[in-house]
Amino acid sequence: MNALARASKQALQTAARGFASGAYPDRKVAVLGAAGGIGQPLSLLMKLSPYVSELALYDIAGTPGVAADVSHINSKAAVKGYAGEDQLGEALKGADVVIIPAGVPRKPGMTRDDLFKINAGIVKALVEACGKHCPKALLNIISNPVNSTVPIAAETLKRLGVYDEKRVLGVTTLDVVRAKTFYAEKAGLDVSKVDVPVVGGHAGVTILPLFSQAVPGANKLSDADIDALTKRTQDGGTEVVQAKAGKGSATLSMAYAGALFADACLRGLNGDPDVVECTYVASNITEVPFFSSKVKLGKNGVEQVYGLGELNDYEKAGLKAMMPELRASIEKGISFAKESQ
């Protein structure tokens, strides 16, 4: 099959999600930041998900329009828009999964950490509302810097007395999506059959793709190839920020990755026994308290955090190198949440 035929087959399969039978339990998904660059295409993709029966689209403004638009699609989910803080509680009530892409994106020259000042407070306030209105929901946190916003979410829920570490998940799926794409391209493999675990966090050197564990393996890639693939995966976000030249960061690929991850959470909730994704969660597999690795998702969220498996020397060095930055980002998030009570 040539690339075009393969792409159209995949597009048809994706579209078919919208017309799958309603054989799944009723599930409500809320998107917070639904009128944004990620929020809009993510809302579209969640409207196509066969696992969603109710879709709540929340933002500070603009959601009635997005909701009216998306709601005309002839798929299962009933869509409702919610705008402004007064409507946040209603948007969250009964939610099984809450996806949070609210906050500002990077401009060229900025790091993800430069977004902390604005996004930390946004995430804290939204997670507080989740703790009050849907304490059992699985939170999918997309807002950057993920390395800090997930600890902020955890600490905020702890303060409310409703923290369950199985239910707070940082979305790092885009790193996996990128690693698969770049690896398949370089190794000449069918991208639909490729898997690459990506561990660590979601910023620069804290993103560590484990190409030694890629499936299928590609023995013909040189150390220099692997180094280049690693760096491209780590800098994938910056590549898009620069190409967009001041008009934001990845939105379409992120919406795709966010929908994949939310669907995985929903499949886990529905009792699908084989749902494994890389995600940034509370973890004790390394020296830091939050870390992304392969995780089994089940009826209560995170069922098992898998270890790193065997790393080669290059990956061991990458793991060691990320620790100071990852630890600092985690501590910064926790301190913020504690100090801003």
Minimal distance, residue 199 CB to ligand OAA, in Å: 15
- Does 139 interact with ligand OAA (rule: CB under 6 A)? no
∠ CA(27), CA(260), CA(214), 5° rounding? Answer: 140
User: Residue 255 annotated as binding?
Assistant: no
CA distance 57 to 102: 12
Residue nearest to ligand NAI (CB): 36
Per the DSSP assignment, residues forming a β-bridge with 301 are 298
For 307-341, the three-class secondary structure string (H helix, E strand, C coil) is CCCCCCHHHHHHHHHHHHHHHHHHHHHHHHHHHCC
Per the DSSP assignment, residues forming a β-bridge with 82 are 58
Residue 60 partner contact from ligand NAI, ligand OAA, none using kind-dependent CB cut-offs of 5 to 8 Å:
ligand NAI
Q: Which 8-state DSSP code applies to residue 105?
A: P
User: Residue 263 annotated as binding?
Assistant: no
Is 202 labeled as catalytic in the residue annotation?
Answer: yes
Q: Can you list the alpha helix ranges (DSSP code H) found in 235-300?
A: 236-244, 252-269
The one among 241, 297, 326, 334 contacting ligand OAA by CB under 6 A: 241
Per the DSSP assignment, residues forming a β-bridge with 209 are 198
CA distance 33 to 101: 5
Minimal distance, residue 248 CB to ligand OAA, in Å: 9
The one among 174, 176, 330, 337 contacting ligand NAI by CB under 6 A: 174
- Does 234 interact with ligand NAI (rule: CB under 6 A)? no
- Does 327 interact with ligand NAI (rule: CB under 6 A)? no
Unique residue bearing structure tokens 């990506």? 198
Per CB under 6 A, the segment of 47-55, 57-65, 126-134, 232-240 that binds ligand OAA is 232-240
Contact in structure between 151 and 290 (CB atoms under 8 Å): yes
Per CB under 6 A, the segment of 89-97, 179-187, 215-223, 236-244 that binds ligand OAA is 236-244
219: Cβ–Cβ under 8 A, 6 or more apart, which residues? Answer: none
Contact in structure between 275 and 263 (CB atoms under 8 Å): no
CA distance 311 to 197: 12
- Beta carbon nearer to ligand OAA, 31 or 241: 241
Site residues (vs ligand OAA, CB under 6 A): 105-106, 112, 144, 174, 236-238, 240-241, 249-250
**Known binding-site positions for substrate:** 106, 112, 144, 178
Q: Which residues bind ligand NAI (CB under 6 A)?
A: 32-33, 35-39, 59-60, 101-106, 115, 119, 122, 125-126, 142-144, 146, 171, 174, 202, 248-251, 254
Q: Which residues are catalytic?
A: 202
